[in-house]
Amino acid sequence: MGIHNSDVADTFDEIADLLSIEGENPLRIRAYRRAAAAWR
């Protein structure tokens, strides 16, 4: 079975969501969003 690209992308999106809720640096959030897009 293993890990799929979509699983990795979903994880990066979730991290970005949590960082956004915590009010973190927007550039850091955008980096996670871009990483998620790259894995799709």
| Tens of pLDDT, residues 3-20 | 899 999 999 999 999 999
pTM, to two decimals: 0.89
4: left (phi over 0), alpha (psi -120 to 50) or beta: beta
Could you tell me which of 27, 33, 34, 3 has the C-alpha nearest to residue 15?
33
Q: Note the pLDDT of residue 6.
A: 95
Cβ distance 36 to 10 under 8 Å?
yes
What integer is the mean pLDDT of 17-34?
98
For the chain, which residues make up each domain, given as ranges? 5-39
What integer is the mean pLDDT of 16-33?
98
∠ CA 23-26-32 to the nearest 5 degrees? 105
